[in-house]
Amino acid sequence: MGENGISKDGPCFIMSCLGIAQSYAGKDLLPSQLNDLFAGSAVAGNVGADIIKAGLDQLGVDTSKLEIRVVPSPDKTVDSNAFATLRHVGTRLNPDTAGHWQEGTTEGGGEGSFKWDPLEGVVNIGRKVQEVRNVYIVPTEDNK
C-alpha cells in the first residue's frame, strides 16, 4: 500500500478502475460517492477488481452476480472478450517509463485503444503504453 492509505499504483490507477465501473454501469459517480469510496478500504488495496467492484456497488450494480477479474497481458495484447483495459503508460515528463494509468478499450486489437485519462479526460496526449491489463466483468455461472 502506498502513502495515506492509497493504492501504491496511485490515484490515477484508482480513478481508471472507477472509470471502468462507470463505463459498465452507464452512469457517473457523484463527488459524494467518490468521497465515500476514498474513505473506504476498497481503494486502499492494490487490487483493481476490488476497486471496480466498490465503484459498481456505489453505482447500484448488483455485483453478487458478477465475476470481476483484472488480468495482466504479458505481451500488451488486449483480449476482445474483455470489457475494458487498464493501460500503464508513460508519464508527461518521461514518456518511456510507466508511471500513469488510463482506461482503455479492446477496440483495434494490439494494445487496444485509449478511452479516458484521469488527468487529461478524453484527450489522448499519446502516452506510450508500457503494460496492459485486461478487465473482465462477466455474469457468474449461475447468472448467465
Q: Please write the tens of the pLDDT for every residue from 20-57.
A: 999 999 999 999 999 888 887 767 666 889 999 999 99
Average pLDDT, the chain: 87
Distance, first Cα to last Cα, the chain: 35
| Whether residue 3 has pLDDT greater than 60 | no
Coil/strand/helix, residue 80:
coil
Coil/strand/helix, residue 15:
helix
In 108-143, which positions are buried (b, 16+ CB within 10 angstroms) versus exposed (e)? Answer: eeebbebbbbbeeeeeeeebebbbbbbbbbeeeeee
Instruction: Give residue 2's pLDDT.
Output: 40
The band of 8, judged by pLDDT with boundaries at 50, 70 and 90, is low
CA–CA separation, 113 and 134 (whole Å): 12
The band of 143, judged by pLDDT with boundaries at 50, 70 and 90, is low
Instruction: Give residue 79's pLDDT.
Output: 94
